Amino acid sequence: METIKVLVQSSAGHDELNVEQSALPGVVAEQLKDDKWVTLEKKDGSTEILTKADLPSDKIDEADDVDEELDDEDKALQKAGGWADTFKETKNTKGKVVTAAKFESRFENVESATATHKAKGG
Amino acid sequence: MRVYNVIHKLGITDIEFDTISKELDCVEHSGTFIAKVTPKFMVWINHDAKHNIEIVPNHSKLMTPCRILFKTYFTFDTPKEIYVLHSLAQYRCDDNNPKYYAANLEELKDSIMERICDRRYVELGDLRQEYTYDEEKKKFQAEKRKELMIAQVNAIYWLFGEAVTDNTNNSARPNIPMIVKVFQRKNRRLAIIQYDKDHNVKRGGYMGSRWTEHIEAREFRANIYRPTQAQYNYANEGRELLWDSDSEVWLADDLLGKIPFEELSLVLKHSSDEKFTLMSAKDYGRIQKTIRIKLMEDSRKEQNSQARDKLVDNIDKSFNKGKIVRKGITFTHDSIEYNGIVLKADKIKEYVINQRCHLQDEPEFTSIYEGYIEWLLKLSNYKSCSRQTPSYYSEFEGKSELFIIKGVKVAVTKEHNMLFVNNHKVSKFDVAVVAKNAINYDTQEAYDKYVVETSRTNLKVQQAIMEGYIAFDISFSAGHNDNFLLKESKSVRISIPLLRDKNKNYTIINEVKYPVQNTEALFHIDEKPENYYRDGELNRAIKLLYKGIKGITPKAIGEMLTDGEKLYKEHYAKIEAEHEAKISKSKEFLAHAIKLSKATKIKNGYKVKGVSGTVYTINADTLAVYKGKDYLCIVDVGDYGLDMEADALKNDRIAKRLLALSKDTVVANEIYSRGDKMDQHWIELEQEG
> Could you tell me the residue range of the domain that residue A87 belongs to?
3-117
Looking at residue B311, its pLDDT comes to 53
Is residue A39 assigned to a domain? yes
User: Contact B633/A12, CB-based, under 8 Å?
Assistant: no
B388 or B466: which carries more pLDDT confidence? B466
Contact B640, B280 (CB under 8 A): yes
The stretch A24-33 carries a mean pLDDT of: 93
- pLDDT exceeds cutoff 70 at B299: no
Q: Based on the fold, state whether residues B13 and B110 are members of the same structural domain.
A: yes
Number of domains in chain B: 4
Closest chain A residue to B670 measured between Cα atoms?
A120
B304 located within any domain: no
Shared domain check, B669 and B601: yes
Contact B674 A120 (CB under 8 A): yes
- Cα distance between residue B293 and residue B677, in whole Å: 38
Measured between CA atoms, the residue of chain B closest to residue A121 is: B675
Same domain for B90 and B6?
A: yes
Does B626 or B134 have the greater pLDDT score?
A: B626
Write down the pLDDT at residue A65. Answer: 34
User: Cβ of B638 and A36 within 8 Å?
Assistant: yes
B55 part of a folded domain: yes
Residue B395 per-residue DSSP state: -
| B667 and chain A in contact, CB less than 8 A | yes
Distance CA B2, CA B514 (A): 106
Highest mean pLDDT among B251-260, B474-483, B656-665: B656-665
Where a domain ends, among B412, B430, B456?
B456
A37 touches chain B (CB under 8 A): yes
Q: Does any domain span residue A17?
A: yes
Determine how many CB atoms are found less than 10 A away from the CB of residue B590: 24
**Cβ <8 Å between A49 and B674:** no
Give domain status of residue B524, yes or no. yes
Is B526 a domain residue? yes
Angle at B552 between CA B549 and CA B556, to 5 degrees: 125
**Structural domain ending residue among the three candidates B426, B456, B486:** B456
Nearest chain B Cα distance for residue A11, angstroms = 7
Nearest residue to B377 via CA among B311, B312, B447, B289: B289
| pLDDT score recorded for residue A80 | 43
| Cα gap B333→B348, rounded to integer Å | 6
Cis, bond preceding B227 (omega within 30 deg of 0):
no
Of B364, B321, B325, B373, the C-alpha closest to B345 is B373
CB B290 within 8 A of CB B374: no
Structural domain of residue B548, as residue ranges?
Answer: 466-552
Amino acid at the residue B281: A
- DSSP for B452-487 reads HHHHHS-HHHHHHHHHTEEEEEEEE-TTSGGGTT-S
The pLDDT score that the predictor gives to residue B319 is 64
For residue B153, CA distances in Å to B167, B168, B309, B548 come to: 10, 11, 39, 69
Of B346, B358, B355, B360, nearest in space to B320 by CA: B358
Q: B654: which DSSP letter?
A: H
Hey, how many other C-beta atoms are within 10 angstroms of the C-beta on B300? 12
pLDDT in tens, B26-48: 888 888 998 888 887 888 888 88
In a domain, B196, yes or no: no
- Residue B296 belongs to a domain: no
Extract the runs of DSSP E, i.e. beta strands, from B452-593: 469-476, 490-497, 499-501, 504-509, 512-515
| pLDDT of the residue at B591 | 96
* Three-state secondary structure of chain A: CCEEEEEEEECCEEEEEEEEHHHHHHHHHHHHHCCEEEEEEECCCCEEEECHHHCCCCCCCCCHHHHHHHHHHHHHHHHHCCCHHHHCCCCCCCCCCCCHHHHHHCCCCEEEEEEEECEECC
* Backbone φ, ψ for residue B492 (5° rounding): -130, 155
| Minimum-distance CB partner of A13 among B584, B642, B678 | B584
Q: Is the pLDDT of residue B177 over 90?
A: yes
pLDDT of B382 reads: 56
Domains of chain A: total: 1
B163 and B216 in contact (C-beta within 8 Å)? no
Whether residue B61 is contained in a domain is answered as: yes
CA nearest to A49 within chain B: B663
**Interhelix angle B105-116/B80-89, nearest 10 degrees:** 20
Does residue B428 share a domain with residue B407?
yes
> In chain A, what residues touch B655 (CB-CB under 8 Å)?
9, 116
Instruction: Provide the shortest C-alpha distance from residue A13 to chain B (in Å).
Output: 4
Mean pLDDT, residues B118-147 taken together? 79
**Chain A interface includes B663 (CB < 8 A):** yes
| Predicted local confidence at residue A101, as pLDDT | 85
Do B231 and B189 meet the contact criterion of CB atoms below 8 Å apart? Answer: no
Mean pLDDT in residue range B508-513:
85
Look at phi and psi of residue B395 and say left if phi exceeds 0, alpha if psi is from -120 to 50, else beta.
Answer: alpha
Domain-embedded: residue A122: no
The alpha-carbon radius of gyration of chain B (Å, integer) is: 34
- Window from A34-43, B257-266, B525-534, B614-623 with minimum mean pLDDT: B525-534
Residues B490 and B451 in one domain: no
Task: Identify the residue among B182, B643, B663, B677 best suited for mutation to test binding to A, counting A beta carbons within 10 A and taking the highest.
Answer: B663
B524 and B618 together in one domain: no
Instruction: Note the pLDDT tens digit of each residue in B598-638.
Output: 999 999 999 999 999 999 999 998 888 999 888 888 888 87
My answer on whether B541 and B474 are in the same domain is: yes
Residues A74-121 have pLDDT tens digits of 444 444 444 444 444 344 445 567 788 888 889 989 999 999 999 988
Same domain, B635 and B676: yes
* CB within 8 Å: B675 and A51: no
CB atoms within 10 A of CB B412: 24
Domain end residue (candidates: B116, B147, B164): B116
Please report residues of B whose CB lies closer than 8 A to that of A47.
596-597, 662-663
Q: Who's near B304: CB < 8 A, 6+ residues apart?
A: none
- Residue A28 located in a structural domain: yes
Residue B385 has pLDDT above 60, yes or no: no
